[in-house]
Structure formats: structure tokens, C-alpha cells
Homo-oligomer: A and B are copies of this chain.
Amino acid sequence: MQKEREQPISDTVIKRLPIYLRYLTYLERMGVRTVSSYQMGKELGQNPAQIRKDLAYFGEFGRKGIGYEVGYLIKKIRQILHLDQLIPVALVGAGHLGTALARYNAFQQDNMRIVAIFDHSPLKAGRDVDGLKVQPMKELKSTIQEKDIRVGIITVPDYAAQEVADQLIEAGVEAIMNFAPIIIHTPPNIRVHHADLTTELHSLAYYLRQPEYMVN
């Protein structure tokens, strides 16, 4: 039974769902049929009670003593995240990172699919990236509207990121994934996720063993 949504579900819960989905998809590929929250927790380094609680926000997906049916849970999480529908994505910035993302995405056969790539540089316009032609910025608005694109990925240098975000929003994009190492400002109805690759690396440094001369 779907729970009544009395208050919005916290971002931290939503951020964990794709991690569960990735693990479940891996299990499915391995031919595993059911999984317990205990196993999931162990593999993902998370508290099993937390996993059960996260999933219970959306319904009763597991059964006592059996756990979760992998295929069913995948289907449910995909629905929750709206990944059961095709979500066209625009990417701006056809440098190394943009190219890597376009290829990465295509490789995964995902429902979130990069369907348009733009770049400021006239040198890059017309170039083929994984079957897509890089388009000039002047085509951004019309293409986003034609293809009903509501998600944008920004992989331009930091000094260009805010302007690109403004253009994406003006064209109708609702959600932005920003890879530029800068905070971009958007209206409150626009969702922005920052994927600064440096921050991920920085939290890793904390766990390095320290030399013995350091105070305990």
C-alpha cells in the first residue's frame, strides 16, 4: 500500500534510491532472485534498518523472512524515480568530460538518455559524439523545446556555467546536473545537483591511514 505523503521525502533518501537500484540491477544480472536488507546493507556499507525505512516510505516491498524480490523492487524503484519513462537529456559542453558522459550514458542503455549535445565552440559544432551531432548554442532553445527536454547536464568550464544554466532554464529545463566546479544560482523551482568530482575525492582522503607521528 502506498503511504500518504504527508511531507516531502528527504533528499538523502532520494539520493540513496539510485544506489539501491544499481546494486539490484547488478544482482539481477548475476541471476539473483531475492535479497534481504541485511545483504544489501552489508554490500553497500549501510544500516539494513535504514534501507528498510527508506523503501517503506513508498510501500511495502519486502516480505518477512524472504526479503525483497529483486525484479519487483527494481521495477518499483524505477517507477518512484520516474525512470520507467524515457527522459531526454541535453548536455552542454562537448569537451572530454561531456564526451565521456555521452558515451557512458549510451553504453548503459538507460532511460535517461542524452539526446542533444551543445558547445560554444564553432570548432566542435557538427562533430559526432556517439551518434549525436554537436550543435551550436543558438540551437539550444529550439531543440530543447522540440525534443521536450527537461534535464540538462553542464560540462562547460566554470566561468561559462551560470550563463549556460540560465539558457537551459529559459528554454524549459527543470533539473540540472552541474559538473562545473562552481555554485550556480537558479530559481527555487529548478532542481540542481552539483557533481563536483573534487568533493568526492576529498572525502576519500579522510580515510587514509595517518603516519604514526600523528597524535591519536
Contact = CB atoms under 8 A, between A and B. Distances in A.
Interface in A7-24: 11-12, 14-15, 17-19, 21-23
A183 B206 CA distance: 21
State the copy count for this chain. 2
Interface stretch (A102-110, A116-124, A131-139): A102-110
A176 B21 CA distance: 22
Given A23-B183, A100-B97, A100-B100, A81 B205 contact: yes
A19 to B, nearest CB: 6
A166 B54 CA distance: 33
Contact of A87 (B110, B150, B208): B208
A87 B204 CA distance: 11
Choose among A17, A87, A205 the residue with the greatest number of B CB atoms under 10 Å from its CB.
A205
A82 interface: yes
Contact of A202 (B21, B191, B209): B21
Contact of A18 (B43, B202, B209): B202
Contacts of A82: 205-206, 208, 210
A156 interface: no
A66 interface: no
Interface residues of A, number: 60
Contacts of A153: 201
Interface in A31-72: 43, 45
Interface in A132-160: 150-151, 153
13 contacts: A12-B12, A22-B196, A87-B205, A87-B208, A96-B96, A96-B97, A97-B101, A104-B197, A110-B198, A150-B209, A174-B208, A191-B207, A191-B208
Interface of A: 11-12, 14-15, 17-19, 21-23, 26, 43, 45, 80-83, 87, 89, 95-97, 99-101, 103-105, 108, 110, 112, 150-151, 153, 174-177, 181-183, 191, 193-210
